[in-house]
Structure 1
Amino acid sequence: MGRHSSLRQPHGNHVAAELDGARILVARAPDRAGELVSALRGAGAEPLLLPLIDFEVASDQHSLDVAFDALGAGAYVWLVITSVTTVQALEAKAAERGATLETWLPGSLQVATIGPATRRALQTRGIGVDLAPTAEQSGAGLAGIWPEGRTRVFLPQADIADPALRRGLEARGASVQAVTAYRTVDYPADPARSLAAHAAGPEHHDADPPPAVLTTAEAKTEVAAGRLHAVVAASPSAARRIHAELAPLGGCRFVAIGRSTAGEAETLGLTVASIAEQPTASGLLAAVIRSLAAPPSRPLTLPPPSTP
């Protein structure tokens, strides 16, 4: 069985017929898009990548160091990790201390997370997850299941993180130490400050050829020419960049990962064709298929087939 056979078999030729030949722009860097790229290819689509955001180490390293040392010393009852990027930032801090993130965390610490990708990133490093939402994969989803009572929480997050999660946990009685773990910047990051250059972790190798990576100028040309069927945005910041760099989208459908991304897109005036409630490859694939179910507002023009 090939690597894509599991995607094709449950629906026979139906999924392939839905996306056969569709050109899907994924607003992610190559190291973050592997599973979705495989899912789209397995359904017959041609994925293309448009890296819009990247990540750098936090500007205030002192505050992060103090909180991270307190974490290792057992000062917190809970660690809340909301993204794979946060895992990488903390792993880099552990490496600076000659440890792994797994060995740095006290055995009594409880870990909460959001999203299956973040859970996998932790489990790959030998770290168990004690609490995670099963329905809405968002800060609101986690706050909604958070246990009532006084407890100390360490919340490392992005510099542009929505304060809603911190407020939601505090409303449940938690004392939350929120610290910036990394900065979100336009792609590409400064090589000297790139989080990827500092982060350690398991490497993944894909036998498939990498998808084409477009610049914003190239992507805008493809959108204007009607050669893209859909664009997938993973975050509100990506939605803002898509609006600034690519709009108007014309017949290219906007697919949002999560309601916060969809809400930001709608605020900017972008029409959201579909929302992936679950940030998984299968959830995103289903959202892309839904987005293309209705006829486009104007014809899409595919590029001529390449000659061998």
Structure 2
Amino acid sequence: MPRGDTVLSGLRVLVTRTPERAGDLVAGLRDRGAEPVLAPMHQAAAVAGQEARDLSQLVRTVADADAREWLVFTSVNTVRALQAVVEGADGGSPDSSRHDQALDLGEHLAQAVAGGLQIAAVGAATARAARNAGLPVHLVPPPEQSSAAGLVNVWPHAAEVNQPTATGPAVVYLPQSAWARATLRDGLEAKGWRVETAVAYRMVDFPAASPLTEVTSTGSVAVWDPHRAREELARGTVDAVVATAPSLLWALFASTDGKPPAPAVTVEPMACAVMGEPTLNAAQELGLKAVAATVPDTAGLLDALEHAVKENRA
């Protein structure tokens, strides 16, 4: 049941997440009296061809890893992508003889974990997804540093934890988005680690032809395509925006020629809640009255949105 009057009561809030990722946020907005509308710009899609083969090879290699090696998850989508490989959803199961047993990721990597494979996650939500897939998580940066840079900050230097070997430094396996920046890879290499990367998924226009997660239902929440979302923003029928990545904001406010506008085209200054410093920077460049969540979770986003609305009204 919705609360009494809150800062968000009666506001139409545009959420740039896809339906399968927006459930908690939609519920939270409704609980605070807002009207959520989904306007997903992109969706995570499974890789194909050589990228799928490279990802399957990385999963096979990780399954044989030892105590000198790490596996890093940079997003929930990365966990889902590796789970899809294990299940053979991409047509290239690491172990086709066990395909019909529908192993979870934790079962597939159990021997490596028992042998000392360490697992890191970039933030709490990603760590939770890894644990739900049956994996332990050994390293997560503090909430205020939930980013690639934050993970680099807490990562040990290779010389502190590894004895020199004839084969060189220990390995960090880094499956990631095709759009991933080099921040994490470069930071780990600077600390003496060898980093093996693979493209785990691609962000494509919503809806994806081969999504990592199928959307079975959007419930009663409205879902707008990008064109409709931009029209409503220009008309002033949207009161606030929630975004968790810079690319989502740039896509939402992109001009017809694909160039990012400055400032964002809206009837009046728009309150915006974001997750992470890169997203905050993008929002500010677009002229949005943005506030970043102090804790990178749904409650943090909702609190940031209330703060942004208050600031926008001041």
Same fold (TM over 0.5): yes
Query: Secondary structure of the residue that 1:195 maps to in structure 2?
Result: coil
1:65 to 30, 48, 56: 56
Once residues 220 and 296 of structure 2 are traced to their aligned partners in structure 1, the CA distance between those partners, rounded to angstroms, is 21
Relative to 1, partners in 2 of residues 1:288 and 1:83: Cα closer, same or farther, differing over 3 Å?
same
C-alpha contact 1:259 1:277 (8 A) present in aligned 2: no
Alignment correspondent of 2:164: none
Give unmatched runs, 5+ long, in structure 1: 198-202, 298-308
Aligned match of 1:124:
132
Output one character per residue of 1:18-51: Cα deviation in whole Å (capped at 9) or x when no partner.
Answer: 1111111000111010111111111111111001
Post-superposition offset of 1:270: 3.2
Tell me the residue number matched to 2:307.
Answer: 290
Mapped partners of 1:288, 1:123: distance in 2: 29
Greater alpha carbon shift after TM alignment, 151-160 vs 58-67: 58-67
Distance 1:194 1:17 in 2: 36
Decide whether aligned partners of structure 1 residues 82 and 295 sit closer, same or farther in structure 2, where only a CA change above 3 A counts.
closer
- Of 81, 86, 105, 1:94 maps to 86
Distance 1:205 1:77, change over 3 A: farther
Distance in 2 between residues matched to 1:133 and 1:295, nearest whole Å: 31
Tell whether the 8 Å contact from 2:16 to 2:248 is kept in structure 1 after alignment: yes
| 8 Å contact kept, 1:77–1:151 | yes
> d(CA) in 2 for partners of 1:179 and 1:157?
6
RMSD over aligned CA atoms reads 2.3
Conserved? CA contact 1:136–1:277, under 8 Å: no
Structure 2 unpaired stretches of 5+: 89-94, 159-168, 256-260
Amino acid of the residue matched to residue 77 of structure 2?
T
Partner of 2:74: 82
Counterpart-to-counterpart distance in 1, 2:54 and 2:38: 35
TM-score of the aligned structures, taking structure 2 as reference length: 0.81
| Partners of 1:279 and 1:272 in 2: CA distance | 19
Q: 1:275 aligns with which of 292, 295, 308?
A: 292
1:103 corresponding residue in structure 2: 107
The whole-number CA distance in structure 2 between the counterparts of 1:128 and 1:41 is 34
C-alpha deviation, 1:286, in angstroms: 0.7
173, 177, 185: which one aligns with 2:204: 185
Q: Secondary structure at the match of 1:71?
A: helix
1:210 and 1:171 mapped to 2: Cα distance?
Answer: 49
CA distance in 1, matches of 2:175, 2:267: 38
Q: Deviations over 1:133-158 (max 9, x none)?
A: 11211001000000111431100000
For 2:282 and 2:188, the matched residues in 1 are separated by 23
Q: Could you report, residue by residue, the CA deviation over 1:171-198 in whole angstroms, capped at 9, with x for unpaired residues?
A: 11111101111111111112xx33225x
Determine whether 1:47 maps to 2:36: yes
Q: In the aligned structure 1, how far is the partner of 2:65 from the partner of 2:40?
A: 38
Whole-angstrom CA distance in 2 between matches of 1:281 and 1:118 = 13
Which 10-residue stretch deviates more, 78-87 or 214-223? 214-223
With over 3 angstroms needed to count, the CA separation of the structure-2 counterparts of 1:272 and 1:173, relative to structure 1, is farther
Query: What amino acid is aligned across from residue 274 of structure 2 in structure 1?
Result: A
Deviation at 1:204, TM superposition (A): 10
Aligned residues: 276
Are 1:31 and 2:29 counterparts? no
The residue identity in structure 2 corresponding to 1:233 is A
Q: Which moved more, 1:158-167 or 1:72-81?
A: 72-81
The 1:123–1:204 alpha-carbon spacing in structure 2 relative to 1, beyond 3 Å, is: farther
Say which SS state the counterpart of residue 68 (structure 1) adopts: helix
Question: What pairs with 1:1-308 in structure 2 (closer than 5 Å)?
Answer: 8=3, 13=4, 16-59=5-48, 60-74=51-65, 77-96=69-88, 97=95, 98=99, 99-105=103-109, 106-107=112-113, 108-134=116-142, 135-149=144-158, 150-190=169-209, 193-196=210-213, 209-244=219-254, 247-251=264-268, 252-267=270-285, 269-296=286-313
Shift of 1:212: 0.9
| TM-score, normalised via structure 1 length | 0.83
Tell me, what secondary structure is at the counterpart of 1:179?
A: strand
1:140, 1:181 → 2: CA distance?
20
